Structures are given as structure tokens and as C-alpha cells.
Amino acid sequence: MIENYYALLICILRPVTIEMSFDLMGGKITKVQNKSIKSNDVEDMIQMKQQGMTHRAIGELYGLSEEAVYRRIKRYKEAIK
């Protein structure tokens, strides 16, 4: 059931169909180039993290490693202090 919520979240955050969101969760992820990730994407990453998603799961949505997600969130929080 949790997969359904993740698929819904993907549809809300990205312009994809429900079928495409399930494909994304199944590992058919097209890599996002780093320069295309904006500050509002990082804000979305922070919200997903607060909702209980892991860095790895978030990274899979954006085509990033879990370490890259961690660093982006950390840098963003440091910048707004």
C-alpha cells in the first residue's frame, strides 16, 4: 500500500502519469542532470525526508545517489540559516 502513496507523491511532484510513477519506482529511472535540480526540488526533498522517505528513495526519484541527496539537503539548510 505504501507504494501507492509513493506513486501519488511522484505524480504530484513531477509531470508524470501514474503508470510512469510506478515505472520510476520499479527502477526504470531516467537520470536527471544535476544542473536541472532547482532549490524548490531540494525543498521537496526535505519534505519527503520529513515524511519518512529515505535518502536512497528520494535519490531514486531524482536520479541521484543517497549521498548526493544528503549533501544537497545539508547545503540548502546551511544556506538558509
Contact 73, 49 (CB under 8 A): yes
DSSP result, the chain: -HHHHHHHHHHHHSS--HHHHHHHHTT-PPPPPGGG--HHHHHHHHHHHHTT--HHHHHHHHT--HHHHHHHHHHHHHHT-
Domain spans, the chain: 2-79
pLDDT of residue 76: 93
pLDDT recorded at residue 33 = 47
| Predicted confidence pLDDT, tens digits, the chain (81 residues) | 677 788 788 888 877 777 777 777 775 544 444 557 888 889 999 999 999 999 998 988 888 889 999 999 999 999 988
pLDDT score, position 74: 95
Q: Model-level pTM?
A: 0.59
Tell me, what amino acid is at 61? L
User: What residue has cell string 519506482?
Assistant: 25
